[in-house]
Amino acid sequence: MQPGGGAADETIETPPVRANWRECRQCGLVSTLPRMRPELVADCPRCANTLWRMRRHPFELPIACGLSALLFYIYALVAPFLEISAYGRFQLARIETGPVELGLQGFTLVGLLVLAVTVIFPGLKLGIVLVTLFGIKSRVVPARVLKAIFRWHGPIGPWAMVDVYLLGFLVAYTRLAAIASVHLDTALYALIGLMIMMAATDAALDTEAVWRALDAADDPCDETPVTMTSAVIGCPTCGLVNRGADGDGCRRCGTRLRPRKTESVARAWAFVVAAMLLYIPANIYPVLLITQLGASHGYTIMGGIFELADYGLWPLAMLVFLASITIPLMKLLILGYVLITTQTRSAETLLARTRAFRLIDFIGRWSMIDVFMISILVALVRFGQVSNIHAETGAPCFAAVVVLTMFAVSSFDPRLMWDALQPDDMNVNTQEAAGI
């Protein structure tokens, strides 16, 4: 009951939300961040999720690495990627050749997916980082514009898959070397440089420092009076803890606030069921049709793994088996278990379930190896009936499984698992932040 017997919705003065409070996106615990110290890692005290990885040079080093990555990116777009020669004929491919060829073979959506995660999203990610950091240093671009741009850094990040693409190239190279003479061209080395420098940019980037710098350059947060019923809601984009209601905008970046993701369990189940249904044809139907000297033979994912093992490439065969068979199946099983235990409000093994969810979120993108391998092979092996590789029905099914499982992970809100805890089990910091 409210003090003095007033109405429940009466506006009263309440303590402002502190700028250094953060809500863990994994377990929902609200805790305080430490003062910024170089190379310090601030973890959630309940589930050990990283809240802030502080950097010694949060702006200068990411700019240097990002500019280097941009130069590699531009060169990779204009230079030839691979060349092969076989049966007296020559074939050259650029990085966009595979997606274009997939479209010509009737698999337009798969081609667009490959083009997006290898060309479009890496370029957008680099552009977002460089524009934001240069804008902070130069103060030419308004902070509100930079906030609107930097909001997309998190959502786009997992879909920039240059590193996974290069692993797909390794698998494709073993198949190409068996049927043709392969020449590695300059764009391949540019992609390797791009992968290294993008990883360095990600490692050097301090997103919390970026948001604080943007906040300092903009109008100060408005600490307006709120009602006693106002909730404490962490922003999913910038991390700032706000007092407000469901649907309000974040005071720092403007993102619409939700205490929990809307229809999280239902949407995650929809993606999981769809992925389960497609997982079967993805492994039964061939993903490639290889024609050599007029004889055609279809290859399933497992058939390709056996072929790598026959060549004596056991490490690569194990890599493909893990990425294409084990990881998708493991993601589906773990997601199913997590969703069931969340719906039954089980409070058992919460930390183990959170760590398992964190693992599948991290490794899910690596299942794209086979999709990239297919795009490289269809781009290069086009010698008619003498030697030709064509994508088959299993390819779009498998690509859909990978995308659907990534959507399922991003749709589920892991904080729902921790909502099963009783109030007595909650950390005192959470109770203090909620105004209890």
In the chain, the percentage of residues whose pLDDT exceeds 70 is 89
pLDDT band (50, 70, 90) for residue 100: very high
Residues 292 and 349 in one domain: yes
Q: Which two tokens stand for residue 223?
A: 């600490």
Residues 249 and 101 in one domain: no
Surface-to-core class of residue 166, CB atoms within 10 Å of its CB (0-12 exposed, 13-18 middle, 19+ buried): middle
Mean pLDDT rounded to a whole number for the chain: 85
- Give how many domains the chain has, as a whole number: 2
- The verdict on residue 11 lying in a domain is no
Residues 308 and 413 in one domain: yes
Residues 255 and 267 in one domain: no
pLDDT band (50, 70, 90) for residue 436: very low
Residues 350 and 396 in one domain: yes
Residues 284 and 254 in one domain: no
Please check the confidence at residue 398 and state whether its pLDDT lies above 90.
yes
pLDDT band (50, 70, 90) for residue 227: very low
- The verdict on residue 400 lying in a domain is yes
Question: What pLDDT digit, counting tens, does each position of 337-360 carry?
Answer: 999 999 999 988 999 999 999 999
Q: How many CB atoms lie within 10 A of CB 123?
A: 15
Least confident of 154-163, 212-221, 248-257: 212-221
Q: What's this model's pTM, rounded to 2 decimal places?
A: 0.86
Q: Average pLDDT in the 231-250 region? A: 87
SS3 234: strand
Question: What pLDDT digit, counting tens, does each position of 313-342 carry?
Answer: 788 788 888 888 888 999 999 999 999 999
pLDDT value of position 429:
44
| Pairing verdict, β 41-43 and 50-53 | antiparallel
Q: Average pLDDT in the 61-69 region? A: 95
Instruction: Report CA 381 to chain centroid distance, whole Å.
Output: 31
Q: Which two tokens stand for residue 374?
A: 């297919």
Residues 70 and 200 in one domain: yes
Q: Which residues of 301-335 are buried (b: 16+ CB within 10 A; e: fewer)?
A: beebbebbeeeebeebbebbbebbbebbebbbebb
69 and 198 in contact (C-beta within 8 Å)?
A: yes
Domain boundary among 210, 234, 259: 259
Residues 269 and 290 in one domain: yes
CB proximity list for 208: less than 8 A, separation 6 or greater: 33, 52, 54, 239
Q: Which domain holds residue 308?
A: 21-29+55-218+260-426
Residues 249 and 277 in one domain: no
Q: How many CB atoms lie within 10 A of CB 349?
A: 13
Least confident of 135-144, 228-237, 261-270, 399-408: 228-237
Please check the confidence at residue 387 and state whether its pLDDT lies above 50.
yes
pLDDT value of position 12:
34
pLDDT band (50, 70, 90) for residue 148: very high
- The verdict on residue 155 lying in a domain is yes
Angle of helix 394-411 relative to helix 350-363, nearest 10 degrees, comes to 140
pLDDT band (50, 70, 90) for residue 244: confident
Q: Average pLDDT in the 160-187 region? A: 88
67 and 129 in contact (C-beta within 8 Å)?
A: no
Q: Average pLDDT in the 87-96 region? A: 83
* Residues 27, 417: Cα–Cα separation, whole Å: 7
- The verdict on residue 5 lying in a domain is no
Least confident of 62-76, 275-289, 359-373, 422-436: 422-436
Residues 68 and 115 in one domain: yes
- The verdict on residue 308 lying in a domain is yes
* Residues 120, 140: Cα–Cα separation, whole Å: 26
Angle of helix 264-284 relative to helix 301-310, nearest 10 degrees, comes to 60
397 and 328 in contact (C-beta within 8 Å)?
A: no
Residues 307 and 392 in one domain: yes
Q: How many CB atoms lie within 10 A of CB 292?
A: 17
